[in-house]
Amino acid sequence: MPDNRIFFNSSPSPTIGVELELQILDKITYELVSGAPQFLEEYAEDPRIKEELLDSILEINTNICKDIDEVRNDLRETLTKVFKSADKYGYNLLSMGTHPFSRWNEQSVSSNPRYHNLIERMQWPLRRLLITGVHVHIGVDSGEKAIAITNGLTRYIPHFIGLSANSPIHDGEITGLASTRTKIFESMPTAGLPESLRNYSEFQKFMRTLQKAHTIESIREVWWDIRPHPMFGTVEIRLFDSVPTLEQIVQLAAFSQCLVVAISNHYNMGTQLPLLDHWIVQENKWRATRYGLEADIIIDENGTQISLKSAIIETIETIMPVAFELGCQETLKGILNQLEDEVPPYRKQLDLYNQNNDYKEVLSDFVQTFKDSVLD
């Protein structure tokens, strides 16, 4: 009898890995350009620089990092050389969840046969996937714990969206959403909220069933908002829009790591937090997608509501002892300062457009902000 178990490659410590998707723009027109093949050819020996579905998108990965300082340094090192190449090619790099006016049907698809196979199967939902985000992997020491953490993290889905929402404009239109990227991505057939599973055995059985039913060809095609990643031995959080600065990317990674470790500690002590009802998780996701940090979220089955911003502050205060243990307390404090002092990026995009009535002015500001955050 064949052994079809899905082994979880356990991580002995809560390591961090970050995937950052960037848009490649023409320096003059700010339109998307199919520049990824040039970067991929130049950096063919660097596994941290990778292709994406579209040739106008470049993916930057970190190595497996032991702490937040390592994440910051790793990303800065790779981004610095990528910026140098972008200047040479006549490109800008944009960290934003959607492009305000470039059209999805004008983008060329990567030459990778895997992407063409996926497009053949999924058609329009995948072809229009002109979006960019940040994915964060946190190491977990067992498959059983990965399931418990995935379940526990669903409470914080609006927090993840609110802190990163950066896509209010798409296809030449102000959408009315703080994170348009979230709605575009969840149209994929295997995307959206994670399936509620009780243990790792159920996860394995469900993955085998999806493959047997030809819903997926491999578990890489299960694109839940939060998912166990058996190959990497991680829990992966996939909800973040690409955000304007390097430090904000690092903050999202720190917040993710602290939450995973906090839930892991509860699991170890047998004191797991109660899960929210599915309808609450779904409604809170929608509210954060629509209103960003200005949302009110539901915190219990009685319909009690609090502001998302207050919920994030309360969560950070709760996990701050974990942050001290991990050495990322200053990074978490940076989120608190940002919530108090800064305009959310989705709101800044809209403010810039309302001031200038020109999407290029929005892009010019965000391009320079991102570059300065890496090189200064």
Cβ–Cβ under 8 Å, residues 164 and 182? no
**What's the pLDDT score for residue 368?**
98
Beta bridge partners of 226: 237
Query: Looking at residue 346, what DSSP letter applies?
Result: H
β-bridge partners, 91:
26
- Give me the pLDDT at residue 273, please: 77
Q: With beta carbons less than 8 A apart as the criterion, state whether 273 and 152 touch.
A: yes
The residue among 202, 205, 231, 207 whose CA lies nearest residue 219 is: 207
Let me know: does 168 contact 180? Beta carbons within 8 Å.
yes
Sign of CA dihedral 352, 80, 250, 47: positive
Question: Which tokens is 58 given?
Answer: 């470049």
Residues 127/188, Cβ–Cβ less than 8 Å: no
**Structure token pair of residue 104:** 């999805």
The pLDDT assigned to 272 comes to 77
Predicted local distance difference test score (pLDDT) of residue 190: 95
C-alpha distance across the termini of the chain, in Å = 59
Calpha distance 115→293 (Å, rounded): 34
Beta-carbon contacts of residue 59 (< 8 Å; ≥ 6 apart): 19, 20, 21, 22, 49, 50, 51, 52
Q: How many angstroms separate the CA atoms of 143 and 206, rounded? A: 14
Name the residue type at position 244.
Answer: P
Mean pLDDT by 10 residues, the chain (376 residues): 84 97 98 98 97 97 98 98 97 98 95 93 93 98 97 98 98 97 96 96 96 94 97 98 98 98 95 90 98 97 97 98 98 97 96 96 98 95
CB-based contacts of 47: which residues, under 8 Å, 6+ apart?
Answer: 61
Q: Mind listing the pLDDT tens digit for each residue in 271-287?
A: 877 899 999 999 999 99
Q: Which of 202, 207, 226, 225 is nearest to 217 (CA)?
A: 207
User: What's the CATH number of domain 16-375, 2.30.30.90, 2.160.10.10, 1.10.540.10, 3.30.590.20?
Assistant: 3.30.590.20
Strands (DSSP E) contained in 55-103 are 57-61, 91-94
Whether this model's pTM surpasses 0.85: yes
Joined together, the tokens standing for residue 44 give 């063919």
Exposure class string for 92-129: b at 16+ Cβ within 10 A, else e = bbbbbbbbbbbebeebebbeeeebeebbeebeeebbbb
Structure token digits, residue 150: 């995935």
Domains of the chain by residue range: 16-375
